[in-house]
DNA sequence: AAATATACATAATTTTCTTATGCATAAGTT
DNA sequence: AACTTATGCATAAGAAAATTATGTATATTT
């Protein structure tokens, strides 16, 4: 038995899930849900864990908005739903990334005004 | 008549209001609500507008959690509620700022893995 | 045989915000 | 004098986006 302290899932991640999903799909062409959770865990060295309750509704919403296309596959007798960016999805990815950069700049102006 | 386009209040700000409040109080000793809204507008060059519906409940909550002390004053026959950090508030400010730095680092690892 | 990993999904609840509304005084404008 | 904008607080209704808790099912590891 061991104790694990993780600072993960700070409140700040709220609102950035869509950006994360879109960016990953922009890099990896197509991915399925579980793969996304693992990739995020890997890239953030375990610091950020995307929960299923957040991820799947987000994917469905992005699909409903026409930003993602879905394609179902069966691998090892298990279902996988591969998502990929639509044309609009690619455009929106650029917007989201710009928004994120802007957000980071703004926050730095707030918490570290000397560097602004 | 003119049209004003502001990218302000993007969804990403969700979760960072407390950090902003605490950091400003950490720098300015004591501030009142309206002053905070104006300071944020100034520091972000109008890009971020803290709404009253978000600010006042947040201040009340931080006070209830023992992170802020409040002191009422009357200036020009108008009420002001000055908030300042408690000892715990100062500690929590450090935590929040570290969390923010961590968040920014993590997001940069996600959206720009080459630099990680 | 049992536990963990893979893979999806949804419902209930909570948190945190926006929008709308309300009260009140001071200062500036028409 | 009347009206608008600025200053200053507050709360309620609703929306958005997460967490937590469940549920189903197969594959792999212990």
The tens digit of pLDDT for each residue in A43-77 reads 998 889 999 999 999 999 999 999 999 999 999 99
Q: What are phi and psi of B80, to 5 degrees?
A: -135, 140
Residue B1 placed within a domain? no
Q: Say if CB A52 and CB A37 are below 8 A apart.
A: yes
Q: Which nucleotides of C are covered by protein (CB under 7 A)?
A: 6-12, 15-22, 24-27
Q: What is residue A84's DSSP assignment? A: E
Mean pLDDT of A87-99: 95
- Rounded to 10 degrees, what is the CA torsion of B13, B19, B25, B26? -140
Q: How confident is the model at residue A15 (pLDDT cuts 50, 70, 90)?
A: confident
> What is the pLDDT, as a whole number, of residue A12?
62
Q: Which of residues 57-96 of B touch strand D (CB under 7 A)?
A: 57, 59-60, 75-76, 78-81
Q: How far is the CA of B5 from the C1' of C17 (A)?
A: 21
Residue A4 placed within a domain? no
Alpha carbons within 13 angstroms on the beta-carbon side of residue B84 total: 7
- A94: containing domain: 15-111
CB–CB contact A113 B40 (8 Å): no
Q: Report the CATH number that the domain containing residue B24 is assigned in CATH.
A: 1.10.10.10
Q: How confident is the model at residue B4 (pLDDT cuts 50, 70, 90)?
A: very low
Residue A94 placed within a domain? yes
Q: Whose CA is closest to B71, among B83, B59, B62, B89?
A: B83
Number of Cβ within a 10 Å radius of residue B109: 18
- Rounded to 10 degrees, what is the CA torsion of B16, B21, B25, B26? -10
Task: Indicate the length of chain A as a whole number.
Answer: 116
> What is the C-alpha to C-alpha distance for residues A116 and A34, in angstroms, rounded to an integer?
39
CB–CB contact B111 A97 (8 Å): yes
Residue B8 placed within a domain? no
Query: From edge to edge, which strands make up the β-sheet containing A68-75?
Result: A30-32, A78-85, A68-75
> What is the C-alpha to C-alpha distance for residues A50 and A7, in angstroms, rounded to an integer?
13
* Nucleotide nearest residue A51, measured CA to C1': D19
CB–CB contact A110 B20 (8 Å): yes
Number of domains, chain B: 1
Nearest to B14 among A15, A43, A107 (CB): A15
Report the chain A residue with the minimal C-alpha distance to residue B46. Answer: A106
């Amino acid at each position: 038995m061991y104790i694990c302290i993780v600072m993960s899932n700070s409140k700040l991640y709220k609102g950035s899930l869509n950006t994360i999903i879109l960016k990953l799909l922009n890099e990896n062409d197509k991915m399925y849900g579980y793969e996304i959770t693992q990739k995020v865990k890997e890239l953030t060295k375990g610091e950020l864990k995307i929960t299923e309750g957040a991820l799947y509704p987000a994917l469905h919403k992005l699909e409903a908005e026409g930003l993602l296309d879905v394609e179902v596959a069966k691998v090892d007798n298990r279902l996988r739903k591969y998502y990929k960016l639509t044309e609009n999805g690619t455009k929106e990815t650029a917007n989201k990334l710009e928004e994120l950069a802007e957000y980071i700049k703004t926050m730095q102006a707030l918490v570290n005004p000397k560097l602004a």
